[in-house]
Structure 1
Amino acid sequence: MCTSWQLRCRHRKSGNLAWGGSLVYSESCNWDKRRGTVDQRTRGAGHGENVGLLGRGSECAVLDEVIEAVRMGESRVLVVHGAPGVGKSALLEYAENSATGMRVLRAAGVESEMELAFATLHQLCAPLLGRLENLPVPQRDALETVFGMRAGAPPERFLVGLAVLSLLSDASEGRPLLCVVDDAQWMDRSSAQVLGFVARRLLAESVALVFGSRQRAQDLLGLPELEVTGLSDADAHALLDSVTHARLDQHIRDRIIAETKGNPLALLELPRGLTMTQMAGGFGLLNADTLPGRIEQSFLDRIEDLPEQTRLLLLIAAAEPVGNPDLVRRAAERLGAIPETALAGGTDGLLTIEARVTFRHPLVRSAVYGSAREKDRRAVHLALAEATDARTDPDRRAWHLASAAPGPDEAVAAELERSAGRAQARGGLAAAAAFLQRSVALTIDTSHRAERALSAADASLRAGDLDAARKLVDIADRDAQGEFQRVRAHLVRSHITFAAGYNNEAPPMLLTAAQRLEPFDMDLARETYLVAWASASYGAANRDSLMAISRAMRELPSPEGSPRALDLVLEAYALLITDGRSAALPTLRRALIALTGAPLQDLLKWGWAAGGLTALLWEDRIMAEWPVRVIDEVRAAAALSELPIYLHALGLPIVLSGDFAAAAAIVAQSEAVAAATGVPMTQHTKLLLTALQGKDAEASALIAATIEEAGAGGQLNGVASAHWAAAVLYNGLARYEQALPAAQATTQSANLLVSQWALPELVEAAARVGDDTAAHGALEDLADSAEPCDTDWAQGVLARCRALLSDDAAAADDFYREAIERLGRTLLRPELARAHLLYGEWLRRDRQRVEARAHLRTAYEMFVSIGMEAFAERACRELLATGETVRKRKNAGSTSEELTPQEQQIALLVRDGLSNPEVAARLFVSPRTVEWHLRKIFAKLKISSRRQLGDALSRGEYESMTQ
């Protein structure tokens, strides 16, 4: 394999023959580690000039497979990780040299650029920017905005990811593409999230994405990986021999190999600076620190031997993150250093200045910068700031000015604040938070510091840095100059508590914030009241907290003019708790009508907290319809971080309607958007779907995991939903003794909606186990909820439950018939099928076998066609008990079982007339991936064209997914 052959390329280094990682480099080179692309010369695959890999046969084989797969039209992703100096960069270079005939893009994370949004992504994509015109307009605009090529509103992070996916896919049309990202542990967070998104969606694009990282980066977890460890003892001995000229005692050699763990860079650097005597006796190793420390110390020893001007040039290069030789030169001249003079004696191989300034290893940069005096670092940053163009690169200039400041500096703080605004406009919330945090530290005036601390705390909160947000809100509270600033600080602190999952603490904090906001900003106060109510009513607090919030909402002054949707929702929710459902019903209905026509900007702020109106009113049709409009507008506005919320709002009614194929597709889409945007996905739709499907093992595992994870995080809403799903699952499996406690746990939760939906499950389970007290208590609660709402859903479910508990046979019969009639007018096929099942079971026990068979057969056929396996089995057993012979049927939608959820989504969208690019944009994949899936779909459905999808997919089983 790769242990014996020679890989060649020209690589310039100072000094004689040296080993880098596990590569041997020759004297000359016209390639550098941080160049955006690699010049692809004519050469044989895997072969260049004068460079050999040692002891990396298995690693090379993995990279060979990656390259070969991409040549064959597939995509591959690989995260190469290992300790500093272990040879990751050498392996990445091997991959590049093996990629003959392919286009190679290269980028590297830079530690000092980690706060600059999309810095690494820009490195990678810069050679492809001429292809932006090939992208859909929203994607093109998103990339141009984050790269500073145009002004615009902050694009959604996921839209940027989709644009990069499309860009790479487009670039790979002509020839395969290899993208290499080294030092991935130092990528800025925005780039890491986008590239992680892209990596998870590559499939059929002829693109390889290979990362080199010291550790498993958070945003790259779950991707295929290759761990690089130290060389074998034999190879390590060979490498050590190549760089030591004195004969070493065998025991000393063994100790060096053991302590370095075969790390190639450590073996290269440890002998430097030690005399032959020290090496031979091993005494030079006595004061060695950790492995990175030993390597860094060897670099420091080499740095100290360099002339003063050369050390200054190294420090400038270490403080300048871009590797721009012109910028380094200008800064050096400002400090009186002449680059030609500084380089005249060489840099001992530590620094190379060509098309870009590069260090021998990242540890060289950290050694240079860390060992410099503070005043020297400040002087260098000031020179770099002065040498940086304030028009073309104002943010890096501001960052250098901040690093140069010896103490608080209002002018620099103001410049950082302006940079934060630009960073956020490019979609980099984490970058905006970093600039604002530094701005706070440099602010002199306390009133300015309080305002900046509030902005920094809010940005840190939205970027997910809760610890930093807490510290900043403490500063804002301490320095606040008036009540409004203190109130806003309290509001941010409340949102931090809510985001952290301390749910029992959040509602009262939000209530206090809303009350204190009233004199200053009534609109913000009203929005805060609604969030407080939702956080309490969705299971985050007890009923006393919900009552306190509702009473405070009742005391709000009447709005001027006609009430808006927000005003009506607040009034309706407050009345529901303080006066009961009957009193609140008219206002609930008015609020629901207003909600369906509310402006999108309002819905994006508080719509998630108002969506429960449809459930409270038992309005199945509006529940299915109103999210569609919001989803369309969310997509049109590219406000896609809100999309998982509304996909969930759409997913639940689709599950309740019995369209499991469409529901599974929505779950898959929600998971994709949640992964792309970083917005956690609620599991309600998936929980209910798997429970109704009756998949015992799968549903039980999901329920248990949700209860454990949500419970640990204080997310009682998730716990309640999991118990509800368990009650549905166990009722379907006829394990009523397990369904009963699950239903009771749900109905006792503070979540108004889930507890309401669990009442029919509690009635059925309690009736079957003979717990009359629990059954009748649940029926009374259900009547309180459903009776005032004159909808077929409410009255149908209530009639079904009354029939279950009725002692009068004639009344029970009437209730069952009413339930079937009313539920037959709804969209809720599972509820209707369950009414037939319960009626058939009752008729069989009443010895009316002929009529029982009719209803049980109807129930069985409905359950089978929907895909409710457990309930179908229950209906089957009842049919057999009537003496009927039952021929087991496949799900009428069995074709859907042959398609994966991804294929189902694509088939539905293509059937409804969307083009491949439109489907790709909707499902966050590339058009080539859509085409690849379509070929598989056609084969599975035994069709040959898009036009045939309409016949192949039964509309009874596949509802339109274009919403």
Structure 2
Amino acid sequence: MELTGRDLECDVLDRLVGAVRAGESRALVLHGEAGVGKSALLDYLETQSAGCRVTRASGVQSEMELAFSGLHQLCAPVLDRIAVLPPPQREALRTVFGISTGPAPDLFLIGLAVLGLLSEAAEHEPLVCLVDDQQWLDRCSAQILAFVARRLDAESVAMVFATRAVAGDLAGVPGYPIGGLHDTEARRLLDAVLTGPIDAQVRDQLVAEAHGNPLALLELPRGLTSAQLAGGFGLPGAGTIEQSFVRRVNAVPDETRRLLVLAAADPSGDDVLVRRAAERLGIGAEAAAAAADAGLAEFGTRIRFRHPLVRSAAYRSASAAERRQVHGVLAELTDAEADPDRRAWHRAQATSGPDEEVAAELELSAGRASARGGLAATAAFLQRAAALTIDPAKRSDRALAAAHAELGTGAFDSAADLLAMAEAEPLSDLQQARADLVRAQLAFFTNRGNDAPQLMLKAAKRLETIDVVLSRATYLDALSAAIFASRLATPGGDVIDVAREAATAPRPAVMRSADLLLDGTAMYYRDGYAAGAPTLHKALAAFGTDVTVEEELQLLWMATTTALRLWDADRWEQLSRRHLQLARETGVVIDRALALTSLAYVSLFAGDLDAAALLTDEVQAANEATGGNLAPYGRLALAAFRGDRTETLALGEATKKDGSRRGEGIGIAFAEWSAAVLDNGLGRYQDAAEAAERACEDARDALSVMLVPSELVEAAVRSGSIDTANRACERLGEMATATGTDWALGVHARSLALVSAGDTAERLYREAIAHLDKTRLRVELARAHLLYGEWLRRERRRTDARESLRTAHGMFDAMGMAGFTERARRELQAAGAAARKRVVPAQSELTAQEAQIARMARDGLSNPEIATRLFISARTVQYHLRKVFTKLEITSRSQLDRVLPP
């Protein structure tokens, strides 16, 4: 296949298919104006893909509201490989394609499933996936295919999109602009299609008006007479390509034009359906031949328009009444059982005004789309249903439901528009509460905004007399939002204000763990730590036994942070693992980053920095794959524990800046606490004290109440601020008394020892070590040994000091906490002993991703499990493992343990 003037573009595509044949993967977006030749380049790539399997899909403008229609086109030829996918991914695809029923899958679980399916399809021969007119794909398909394109690596899969402009979904996918032909090539192409002589001036005018657009050069001369072409007498302005097609459509017999309108109105390309509809409209069989003779469309076993612009031009040529007529006939002939959603959409297009029957049918279609996980289609059906609804109350209901669906897709502007549509009519109390809730969720999802708590409070208050369960759940959401906003909350919306309001929430007849969690959290912030702790302990003890899985997922973040605030290390770990397990099992990606971050902190305090690094890598992969915006809380703490001053301060500044912009005050507290940990480890005590004081300067920061005081005590004592250290000790004492856990008692005893002297100090250090030794929090225990050893050295008990300091040094060194390791080494040296250096196996040759995959494989994860966690394919995992084995000179996964750090 030869394309005029496209040597460079063809070379790019040749190299792309060559790379795929060699086992690599590629993604490319060809973008340019309509008619510039993108489809022709896809055709060229298809002809050049000998030895590859090719699958193709095209967006159709009138199909943009039918969920997963484009995805089904692309995947249908390779669905024979669906059985080999991991069960959650397999069931997700079966659900969205209507093969089976099940809970609506998360969009990104579907994306992983498609990535796995294409990878499996490429196992025996490379796979080339072509997507034409991407700008007209349904939104669900567009999001998923863009996700897959960004995650391709080493699967022998190519994904090439043709689109008019690079939209948000395709951001990050390599692009290649397709421009017009140069004048010389444009004249050559024009001469190739002319059948008679042409005046040079006419040729120049046609070339100038076409602006190098190949389709314009092919189409603009059509309809011009020989005389016009030869001498230019009466030559009309050529206009746009689409205008040219409109002229050509209007030039055919009226029956043929009406047939083209009918075919344009049905995107399925089903020749049987269109012929039956034509008969119903009195259009004769000869109309199809005239359309083919005019080079506009072919009516065979499937209907094919010469170009998508022909479809658009044909549809535009019809009057509004004519369009309604053809949609009405198509709706009558579309099988209500086999294709109810397409039938509902045709009926909607056939309606000239409000129609409750059609609106109700669209609402049913929205329900089916929602069950398949197609939130974008759900919103589109509901939006159209709302527009056709006569009754104001029903119209508002449907608009609010559509807005809620749009929240799930991340289409926040559309959600705001639908909210405005709902509020254009007087709302009932329930509707107003739902509207308040949508507005609050908009604020929270877009920037975790500091106005979200007040908006949620407003919704919760309104719901009190309507739905007590939903009201209480909304109060708990308001508390969560206020915890995120913390010091940056707007007046009246800080966590203490919210707690006061939540404490007045009506109580249900039967109190469940969720209710205890709400009441305890409200008391905790309103009345103090000791007041809320008993109820919160009861809530956590019962948690998970009296809630559904869906409710559990919604509550787990609050439950997990509550366990942390109660110094309950065992339940903190248990709930963090449960949160991540549920997020992975259900495929709910929005929860995954929070769950991973929580478990990363559990691992950090347990001294397993390697595991924490894996989890923070997963958070980063999830954010990159899904466009998530969770601050890098895990990476920030990991850098501080490692003693990496450059990275800690850089991440801290970025987190504070981003938190201030978004109204997420908790990020500021985390950044300052991380700086305090870092500087205590490095022995920069004045800096540590200043950071800790900044971290706890606002009582609304939950973190400042719990984690910061012990850092402040240590830094303040070392920098001579004893009064500050005593006040921080008092706060720790209140918590230790109220909760009574070994963690709280150990940290309090350790801190109290710092401000004590003589036998009292020694007793407290020993008490701290005894308590912390009962936990799995090795970092806290190592710090107790270090402080005890430092105290012993200052007491001139060098022999005892060396023993304690060696223990601390060995623990810190094994954990990879370089700052604290060096501090312990200096103290050991001052005590007259040398520290042994740990030998770490070399792995510097590994890339970051290879090291990440190697650690997961070492820890026993299978390739599909690693792939799911990192949002890549199992074949890519295997590809990287082969490189790891070569670089580390090993031959199996079982040998990873001896060449990687423990």
TM-score (norm 2): 0.90
Q: Is the 8 A contact 2:485 2:663 kept in 1?
A: no
Matched, 1:158 2:111: no
Q: 1:321 to 1:458 in 2, by over 3 A?
A: same
Structure 2 residue 388 is the aligned partner of structure 1 residue 388: no
Structure 2 CA distance for partners of 1:260 and 1:609, relative to 1, 3 Å: farther
In structure 1, the gaps of 5 or more residues are 1-6, 8-51, 958-963
How big is the shift at 1:690? 2.4
Provide the rounded CA distance (Å) in 2 between the counterparts of 1:634 and 1:234.
59
Distance 1:911 1:817 in 2: 35
1:485 maps onto 2:435 in alignment? no
1:444 to 383, 390, 400: 390
Shift of 1:155: 1.9
Question: Equivalent residue for 1:99?
Answer: 49
Residues 1:232 and 1:475: Cα distance change in structure 2 (over 3 Å):
closer
Which residue of 702, 708, 726 maps to 1:752?
702
| Correspondence for 2:559 among 594, 610, 622 | 610
Tell me the residue number matched to 2:777. Answer: 828
Aligned residue identity for 1:534: S
| Alignment gaps of 5+ in structure 2 | none
> In the alignment, what sits opposite 1:248?
200
Once the two structures are superposed, the pairs formed by residues 21-40 of structure 1 within 5 Å of their partners are: none
1:624 to 556, 561, 573: 573
Alignment of 1:585 onto 2:533: yes
Match of 1:537 in 2: 483
Distance 1:716 1:56 in 2: 54
Task: Tell me the alpha carbon deviations over residues 778-801 of structure 1, each in whole angstroms, 9 at most, x when there is no partner.
Answer: 444444444433223223333443
> What CA deviation, in whole Å up to 9, does each residue of 1:787-820 have, x standing for no partner?
43322322333344344455x4655555444444
- Measure, in 2, the Cα distance between the counterparts of 1:522 and 1:350: 61
- Contact 1:454–1:476, Cα closer than 8 Å, also in 2: yes
Query: Structure 1 residues 862, 370: closer, same or farther in 2, change over 3 A?
Result: farther
Q: Any conservation in 2 of the 1:88–1:228 contact (CA below 8 Å)? A: yes
Task: Give the distance between the partners of 1:509 and 1:906, measured in 2 at CA.
Answer: 46
Q: d(CA) in 2 for partners of 1:758 and 1:216?
A: 46
Instruction: Pick one of 647, 653, 662 that aligns with 2:596.
Output: 647
Deviation at 1:186, TM superposition (A): 1.9
Structure 2 residue matching 1:365: 3-state secondary structure: helix
Are the aligned partners of 1:803 and 1:816 in contact in 2 as well (CA < 8 Å)? yes
**Secondary structure, in 3 states, of the residue corresponding to 2:707?**
helix
Indicate how the Cα distance of structure 1 residues 744 and 214 shifts in structure 2: closer, same or farther if over 3 A, else same. farther
Segment of structure 1 superposing worse, 59-68 or 237-246? 237-246
CA distance in structure 1 between the partners assigned to 2:627 and 2:348 by the alignment: 30
Q: Match of 1:871, as an amino acid?
A: F
2:284 corresponds in structure 1 to 338
Counterpart of 1:141?
91
In the other structure, the counterpart of 1:661 is 610
Partner of 1:118: 68
2:879 aligned partner: 932
In structure 1, C-alpha distance between the alignment counterparts of 2:234 and 2:242, rounded to whole Å: 15
Aligned to 1:56: 6
Q: 1:405: how far off?
A: 0.9
CA distance in 1, matches of 2:666, 2:227: 69
Distance 1:263 1:795, change over 3 A: farther
Q: Distance in 2 between matches of 1:273 and 1:738?
A: 81
2:212, 2:810 → 1: CA distance?
66
Q: What is the CA–CA distance in structure 1 between the aligned matches of 2:174 and 2:794, rounded to whole Å?
A: 58
d(CA) in 2 for partners of 1:200, 1:748: 43
Give 1:186-201 correspondences, 5 Å limit. 186-201=136-151
Greater CA deviation, 396-405 or 667-676? 667-676
One-letter amino acid of the counterpart of residue 84, structure 1: A
Distance 1:748 1:460 in 2: 39
Which residue matches 2:458? 512
Determine the structure 2 residue equivalent to 1:548: 497
1:564 matched residue in structure 2: 512
Q: 2-side partners of 1:950 and 1:511: how far apart?
A: 52
Deviates more, 1:124-133 or 1:877-886: 877-886
Shift of 1:439: 0.3
Judge conservation of contact 1:652–1:684 (CA < 8 Å) in 2. Answer: no
Whole-angstrom CA distance in 2 between matches of 1:656 and 1:276: 85
* Between 567-576 and 866-875, the greater mean CA deviation after superposition: 866-875
1:868 match: 817
Look up the equivalent residue of 2:447 and give its one-letter code: G
Number of the residue aligned with 2:892? 945
Distance 1:336 1:659, change over 3 A: same
Residue aligning to 2:315: 369
Q: Which amino acid aligns with 2:51?
A: G
Q: Is the Cα contact below 8 Å between 1:89 and 1:212 reproduced in 2?
A: yes
Deviation at 1:550, TM superposition (A): 2.2
**8 A Cα contact 1:410 1:444, kept in partner:** yes
C-alpha distance in structure 2 between counterparts of 1:672 and 1:354, whole Å: 47
Deviation at 1:716, TM superposition (A): 2.6
Separation (CA, whole Å) in 1 of partners of 2:211 and 2:173: 26
Q: Deviations over 1:873-893 (max 9, x none)?
A: 444455566676667655x47
Paired letter, 1:568: L
Instruction: Name the counterpart of 1:711.
Output: 660
CA displacement at 1:633 relative to structure 2: 4.2
The offset of 1:729, in angstroms, is 3.5
My pick for the range that moved more, 386-395 or 839-848, is: 839-848
Instruction: Give the aligned residue type for 2:39.
Output: S
Q: Distance in 1 between matches of 2:48 and 2:281?
A: 43
* Aligned counterparts, 1:296-315, within 5 A: 296-315=242-261
**Could you say if the C-alpha distance between residues 345 and 687 of structure 1 is closer, same or farther in structure 2, counting changes exceeding 3 Å?**
closer
Q: Does 1:76 align with 2:10?
A: no
More divergent stretch after superposition (828-837 vs 894-903):
894-903
**2:131 aligned counterpart, secondary structure:** strand
Residue 56 of structure 2 aligns to a residue whose secondary structure is strand
Instruction: Give the Cα separation in 2 of the matches to 1:232 and 1:742.
Output: 62
Count matched residues. 895
What displacement does 1:915 show?
A: 4.7
Over residues 62-92 of structure 1, what are the superposed CA-to-partner deviations in whole Å (9 max), with x where a residue is unaligned? 3222222222233222222233333222222
Letter matched to residue 248 of structure 1: A
Helix, strand or coil for the counterpart of 1:100?
Answer: coil
Give the aligned residue type for 1:569.
L
Q: Offset of 1:203 from its aligned partner?
A: 3.2
C-alpha displacement of 1:123: 0.2
Q: Deviations over 1:265-293 (max 9, x none)?
A: 344445556689988999999978xxxx7
Q: Give the Å deviation of 1:841.
A: 5.1
Structure 1 equivalent of residue 711 of structure 2:
761
Q: Paired residue for 1:176?
A: 126
1:521 to 467, 473, 497: 467
Corresponding residue for residue 227 of structure 1: 177
The reply to whether residue 405 of structure 1 matches residue 351 of structure 2 is: yes
Q: 1:380–1:675: structure 2 CA closer, same or farther, 3 Å change rule?
A: farther
TM-score, normalised via structure 1 length: 0.85
Displacement of 1:107? 0.6
| TM-fit CA distance, 1:143 | 1.6
Q: Secondary structure at the match of 2:390?
A: coil
Whether the 8 Å CA contact 1:433–1:463 is kept in 2: the answer is no
Question: Which of 130, 155, 159 does residue 209 from structure 1 map onto?
Answer: 159
From 690, 695, 719, give the equivalent of 2:639. 690
Q: Note the aligned Cα RMSD (angstroms).
A: 3.5
The CA deviation at 1:871 is 3.5
Distance of 1:842 and 1:515 partners within structure 2: 55
Q: Compute the displacement of 1:921 (Å).
A: 4.9
Question: Using a 3 Å threshold, how does the CA distance of structure 1 residues 802 and 272 change in structure 2: closer, same or farther?
Answer: farther
The CA distance in 2 between the partners of 1:505 and 1:859, in whole Å, is 46
Q: Deviations over 1:330-374 (max 9, x none)?
A: 232222222432433645323233443233333333333334322
- Partner in structure 1 of residue 446 of structure 2: 500
Deviations 1:498-541 (A, max 9, x none): 32336332222222322222222211111111111121123352
